[in-house]
Structure 1
Amino acid sequence: MDSEETKRPIGIFDSGMGGLTVLRECVKIMGNEDYIFYGDSFNAPYGIKSTEQVYRLSKKIVQLFLKKNVKAIVIACNTATSASASRLRKEYPELPIIGLEPALKPAVLHKKNSTVLVMATPLTLKEKKFENLMNRFEDQAKIIKLPAPDLVEFVERGEIDTPELKKYLRSILNPYLGNIDAVVLGCTHFPFAKRAIQQIVGNDVYVVDGGAGAARELRRLLEDKNECRKENRIGKIEFLNSNPDPQEIELSKKLFELD
């Protein structure tokens, strides 16, 4: 029988819809847990804001989650992780806070001496956190940074397979076609466009994101605290959004359920 502590929900947030890809991964391996997903669509995109702005927005969401008695928080946004995760962990030391980082390690290890393209928001790519990550692997692969801020906007509009999306992707990916071995989707919005990206770069190119790794880390931290639900049940998901338009919630549910 689960205790009242283990029955508490898990909070997951993003600047908009992108974090739904991380929520999916969490549900895959911990489907008996309850979740609250918060999309900050009103303030999206985060990737073009300052570090301090993103930190303040993230802290506001954490405070909302604490009022809802969550037992852990996943920052399902690479930009928000870079800008706020370390500060928030210091401010809330008892609360497991899991962040995202571009899946550079699996991309580099996939093939020796490869060329890896990292697609992310401008803020993620210029943050010290990403620079440190690049430094760890720069002697094992050629790493190329590719800012793709407009891709966030396509996903926020629910455009994940339109001709306009593919035209945009081709415009930024064309210079690298035939010369890359892997593409890292360094923003949680980007996996929604993974199928289109794979079609453009070709099936021989390894396309990877960090959602599954974040889900595994969440489970590990909850196991360490003995706070995983053990009851055999189907968990509930509550969708929240900073945009007062009710269509934002409906779009969240629709995107979450997409195959």
Structure 2
Amino acid sequence: MDSPIGVFDSGVGGISTLKVLASMLPHEDFVFFGDSGNAPYGEKRREEVQRLTNDAVQKLLMHHIKGMVIACNTATSAAKPMLLERYPDLTIVGIEPALKEAVDNGAQNILVMATPLTLAMPKFQRQLHLFSGERHIETLPCSGLAGLIECGAQRLDDVKDLLRRLLSTTSGRRFDAVVLGCTHYPFVKDQIAECLPSNPSFYTGYEGLTRHLTHLLGERQLLRSTNACRSIEFLSSSVNPHETDLYRQLFASSIESTTEFGRSGPKSESML
């Protein structure tokens, strides 16, 4: 029960998920592992993503975790079924594009931004087919975006340029919802909004993911009711000794104030 919850992402993006997890589960300890040394995952082959994700689980198991959150849409799509089979005694949940959440909230014109691999996976394609009947849904593969965000604020101008190019390829429709299908993207939500001709709602799926994890851990009586000395540990595969400092700074910043990241946020040398 007192063991930590492991949280894994291909890099800094999973910090946005960790912030919600830590807020909604205030008595739990966490160990975050960012695979920034191998980021980004979105343009890799499925087999390589599976190997890297399994390596991350092995690292987190050394910390005696009681549950595992895959805070990476690409890794969830490519590797979660494999992990459930290999680790049947470990509670494992994974973030997925929050298309259903946007639909359930009545959105009619939806833009889904994600990595090419996430959008190509059969599970998302089935969901897309299911919800496309009575509403307009566009998908936008954002090659290269996660990698630029991984570099920190020093590449913000490049992020803005890429977002303008990517979003110029949409139909020009006024979207009422944008699904951020990569955990890196919430850090540049304001910059995405600036490129759109409307004021859409943004969906990440973090709250639903946390509720699902809470339910599963509760069923196994693994939730903590008190914790006087909460611990949140940050680990990285990056050779940059300051990478975990970036993680801590992003965690400490306000997720709702993404312009803080853009204007004067933490900087990190690229490890891509």
Q: Quickly name the TM-score band, shorter chain normalised.
A: over 0.9
Aligned counterpart for 2:132 among listed residues 109, 119, 138: 138
AA in 2 matched with 1:95: L
Aligned counterpart for 1:204 among listed residues 193, 196, 199: 199
Match of 1:21, SS?
helix
Task: Give deviations 1:41-98, integer Å, cap 9, x for gaps.
Answer: 1111111111111011111111122221100000000000011101111111111100
- Aligned partners of 1:190 and 1:165: how far apart in 2? 10
Name 2:148's counterpart in structure 1. 154
Structure 1 residue 202: deviation in Å? 5.0
Match of 1:246, SS?
coil
Q: Do the aligned partners of residues 19 and 160 (structure 1) sit closer, same or farther apart at CA in structure 2, a change above 3 Å counting?
A: farther
Name 1:94's counterpart in structure 2. 89
- Aligned partners of 2:143 and 2:34: how far apart in 1? 17
Q: Do the aligned partners of residues 167 and 68 (structure 1) sit closer, same or farther apart at CA in structure 2, a change above 3 Å counting?
A: same
- Aligned partners of 2:245 and 2:227: how far apart in 1? 28
What fraction of aligned residue pairs are identical, expressed as a percent?
42
Aligned counterpart for 2:249 among listed residues 235, 240, 254: 254
Task: Give deviations 1:153-189, integer Å, cap 9, x for gaps.
Answer: 2221113993332222122113434432211100011
Q: Do the aligned partners of residues 134 and 234 (structure 1) sit closer, same or farther apart at CA in structure 2, a change above 3 Å counting?
A: farther
Aligned counterpart for 2:8 among listed residues 10, 13, 26: 13
Name 1:3's counterpart in structure 2. none
What RMSD, in angstroms, separates the aligned Cα atoms of the two structures? 1.7
64-73 or 103-112: bigger deviation: 103-112
Name 1:182's counterpart in structure 2. 177
Give matches, 1:17-166, under 5 Å.
17-111=12-106, 114-159=108-153, 162-166=156-160
Structure 1 residue 130: deviation in Å? 1.0
AA in 2 matched with 1:179: R
Give the aligned length.
253
Contiguous gaps of at least 5 residues in structure 2: 255-272
Task: Give deviations 1:183-221, integer Å, cap 9, x for gaps.
Answer: 110001111111211232255312111222211211111
Match of 2:195, SS?
helix
Match of 1:84, SS?
helix
AA in 1 matched with 2:60: F
AA in 1 matched with 2:136: K
- Aligned partners of 2:228 and 2:142: how far apart in 1? 39
- Aligned partners of 1:34 and 1:258: how far apart in 2? 19
- Aligned partners of 1:160 and 1:200: how far apart in 2? 20
Match of 1:184, SS?
strand
CA contact (8 A) 2:176 2:198 kept: no
- Aligned partners of 2:154 and 2:103: how far apart in 1? 27
Structure 1 residue 99: deviation in Å? 0.6
Contiguous gaps of at least 5 residues in structure 1: 1-5
- Aligned partners of 2:203 and 2:86: how far apart in 1? 32
Q: Does 1:222 align with 2:213?
A: no
- Aligned partners of 2:240 and 2:168: how far apart in 1? 37
- Aligned partners of 1:184 and 1:224: how far apart in 2? 30
- Aligned partners of 1:111 and 1:70: how far apart in 2? 38
- Aligned partners of 2:69 and 2:154: how far apart in 1? 24
- Aligned partners of 2:123 and 2:229: how far apart in 1? 36
- Aligned partners of 2:175 and 2:192: how far apart in 1? 13
